[in-house]
Amino acid sequence: MPDQSSVLRHAPVMLAEVLSALAPRDGSAYVDATFGAGGYSRGILDAANCHVLALDRDPGAVRASAKICDTYPGRLTVVEARFGSMEDVVRTFLSTDATPAAPRIFTAPDGIVFDIGVSSMQLDEAARGFSFQTDGPLDMRMGHAEGRLSEGAGPSAADAVNTLPEAKLANVLYQLGEERRSRAIASAIAKRRTERPFERTFELVDVVTRVLGRPRPGEKHPATRTFQALRIWVNDELGELARGLLAAESLLAPGGRLVVVTFHSLEDRMVKRFLAERSGRKPGTSRHLPVEIADQDASFRIVNSKSVSPSEQEIAANPRARSARLRTAERTAAAAWEPDLAALGLPEVFLDR
């Protein structure tokens, strides 16, 4: 039996709320765009006699999914892919030219769920380089696991801090980590890398703490924002989210549900903006007076006008759930809007990368 701490680390956040929003039905099909440890996929498959097509860019997560697939024979398919490429992947499975490797399991998804951000498994593995609390290679690539790089894994966090121009690095830290002392940290990094390149997480932690000071008991670690910004940059997380949202709009059947769980304000703002626009409304001069968008039929109907947060009981059991926010919308029969990544509010550093 796995120890309880391990179970809690890998527990899917707000599983009950996600399942309530998706409302899985027998004979339907769903896409789990961020498979991870498979918590949402298992919850969906246990709730109804349905099919799930799951995606994950992490080779380790895909390899570990084999045992879960065996538990649901013929009902769960896991593919190694980014959710930004979800439309191409799903349309392969929608093809009438089905093959044993790509069976035609549904006509259109009745629900798509996203769990945005780094997984507990990735954070807990020092060799992945995501955490400032353990020393390991300064990597942070979600597509790099078990000694293998997935297609399109791209440069590592070490590559970023060693090669990005100082001004660009400062912008990454400020825009993606909301780090107010981004210029001072970027300057310290640029000075240090002229002496020798960064290779380890603790090397970067040391530079950041020299600028910001060491944490006091109970305070957030000063390297938190820097590591978050680099992780988002290295994995193109906001670009992936934008492409994933557009794919969901294109793929979902009328009446299908889009459920998104975010863990950071940058992600949540993008989802909120996308759904507000696609539901035919956009923020006006007052948050109480939304403005209608003319000449475009709404492609979504917002189900929960305010984001849903975890219960106090869940936060007590799994503190990593504290920042989670869930938003749900239902696909209408209207045509998908023309894709426009810039209109979704991507930070400037993503638009010119």
pLDDT in tens, 255-305: 999 999 999 899 999 999 999 999 987 654 344 444 445 578 999 999 998
| Distances 49 to 28, 110, 314 between C-alpha atoms, Å | 8, 13, 27
The pLDDT value given to residue 343: 83
Phi–psi pair at 175, nearest 5 degrees: -75, -35
Which of left, alpha, beta for 167 (phi over 0: left; psi -120 to 50: alpha)?
A: alpha
For the entire predicted model, the pTM comes to 0.86
Supply the angle between the helices 39-47 and 15-22 in degrees, to the nearest 10: 50
Strand bridging mode 51-56 / 281-282: unpaired
The pLDDT value given to residue 100: 54
Q: How far is 258 from 113, CA to CA, in rounded Å?
A: 6
The pLDDT value given to residue 125: 58
Name which of 123, 182, 83, 149 is nearest 319 in CA terms: 123
| Opening angle at CA 31, ends 29 and 35, nearest 5 | 135
The answer to whether 124 touches 130, Cβ cutoff 8 Å, is: no
Q: What are the residues facing 79 on neighbouring strands?
A: 55
Please name the amino acid found at residue 48: A
The 3 state secondary structure assigned to 228-296 is HHHHHHHCCHHHHHHHHHHHHHHHCCCCCEEEEEECCHHHHHHHHHHHHHHCCEECCCCCCCCEECCCC
The pLDDT value given to residue 96: 52
The pLDDT value given to residue 348: 87
Stretches where the chain sits below pLDDT 50 are 1-9, 284-292
Q: How far is 71 from 276, CA to CA, in rounded Å?
A: 39
| Opening angle at CA 338, ends 333 and 341, nearest 5 | 125
The pLDDT value given to residue 95: 59
Q: Which domains does the chain show, CATH number per domain?
A: 4-119+237-351 (3.40.50.150)
The pLDDT value given to residue 124: 53
